[in-house]
Amino acid sequence: MKSVLSIRPEELKKHGIRAIITDLDNTLVEWDRPSAPPKLVQWFQDMQEHHIKITIVSNNNEMRVKTFADPLGIPFLFRARKPLGKAFRKALAIMNVKKEETVVIGDQLLTDVLGGNRSGFYTILVVPVAQSDGFATKLNRMIERRIMGWFRKKGYLTWED
């Protein structure tokens, strides 16, 4: 998927999805943007109007995630240690939903998607919203490019426009 903004609540509901676990940095907004732009605020409102619950699960620190999530009234978990599964299980408990009713959305294959898949969730990989990353993320992205290239060569992956 190109962006979280292209994920529509009607489509999620059609597939029995009632909840979203989403990453924050470079999934929802650039890693250095403190708040949600109007289009993203509207996306959150659309999800809420369709009774789709959202929890932000981030590997970042509390201040970063709290600064973004509190004005929106969205529950969050920080220092999640993705791809480990503990934070994903906590998010389920916060939203009081089943794993089968939940999708994990993120921009990183080795943290968000791997963690979600290892824990048995549906996952959606989105294109990062920023071109720049922190040091650890840059390393992850180099590894991810190799993995994605291998998947593409084997025919397991087709790119969307």
CA distances from 81 to 16, 60, 71, 77 (A): 28, 9, 24, 10
pLDDT tens readout for residues 93-133: 999 999 999 999 999 888 999 999 999 999 999 988 876 55
Q: Measuring CA to CA, which residue among 148, 52, 51 is closest to residue 107?
A: 148
pTM of the shown model: 0.83
> Residue 53 belongs to what H/E stretch?
strand 53-57
Q: How far apart, in whole angstroms, are the C-alpha atoms of residue 151 and residue 120?
A: 20
pLDDT tens readout for residues 46-86: 999 999 999 999 999 999 999 999 999 999 999 999 999 99
Which structural domains are found in the chain, ordered by start?
A: 4-129 (3.40.50.1000)
